[in-house]
């Protein structure tokens, strides 16, 4: 599990990162909001931490995780080379892309139109 692209390929991990945008969260809070098992949350957080996407601070028995978004810049940088393609003719597309995925956990299902 090396590249940032692998990290964000996992839907639950993306959901966790999205959660942490609003504010830092404890493992338990993430667990409840995303309706995942506690070990699952801990494991994903471990991956995210090892990859530098989040960091944790200890608060008694809890651990509060917060975003460390620098790692995402790798993805952003890679994406940059394609921007010129869609900057030409965006318009209508923007609207429908404002859908944020909320986690239907248990990966597997993805609504993709077409």
Partner DNA sequence: CACGTATATGCTCGTAGGGGTATATAAAAA
Partner DNA sequence: TTTTTATATACCCCTACGAGCATATACGTG
Q: Which does 45 bind (CB under 5 to 8 A by kind): DNA, a second copy, none?
A: DNA
Burial track 46-73 (b if 16+ CB lie within 10 A, e otherwise): ebbeebebbebeeeeeebebebbeebbe
Of the candidate spans 40-48, 67-75, 84-92, 93-101, the one that interacts with DNA by CB under 7 A turns out to be: 40-48
Q: Indicate the burial class of 26 (C-beta count within 10 angstroms; 0-12, 13-18, 19 or more).
A: middle
Q: Which of 40, 42, 69, 105 binds a second copy (CB under 8 A)?
A: 69
What are the backbone angles phi and psi of residue 25, rounded to the nearest 5°? -140, 150
Q: Does 46 bind a second copy (CB under 8 A)?
A: no
Q: Nearest distance from residue 40's CB to a second copy, in Å?
A: 18
Q: Does 77 bind a second copy (CB under 8 A)?
A: yes
Q: Nearest distance from residue 91's CB to DNA, in Å?
A: 26
Q: Nearest distance from residue 76's CB to DNA, in Å?
A: 21
Q: Does 55 bind DNA (CB under 7 A)?
A: no
Q: Which does 31 bind (CB under 5 to 8 A by kind): a second copy, DNA, none?
A: DNA
**DSSP conformational letter for 89:** S
In angstroms, the CA 104 to CA 22 distance is: 19
What are 50's strand-pairing partners? none
């Amino acid at each position: 599990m090396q590249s940032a692209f692998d990290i964000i390929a996992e839907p639950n991990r993306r959901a966790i990162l999205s959660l942490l945008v609003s504010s830092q969260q404890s493992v338990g809070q993430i667990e409840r909001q995303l309706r995942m098992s506690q070990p699952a949350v801990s494991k994903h957080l471990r991956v995210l931490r090892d990859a530098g996407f989040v960091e944790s601070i200890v608060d008694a028995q809890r651990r509060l995780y917060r975003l460390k978004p620098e790692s995402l810049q790798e993805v952003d940088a890679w994406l940059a080379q394609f921007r010129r393609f869609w900057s030409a003719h965006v318009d209508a597309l923007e609207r429908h892309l404002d859908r944020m995925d909320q986690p239907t956990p248990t990966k597997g299902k993805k609504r993709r139109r077409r």
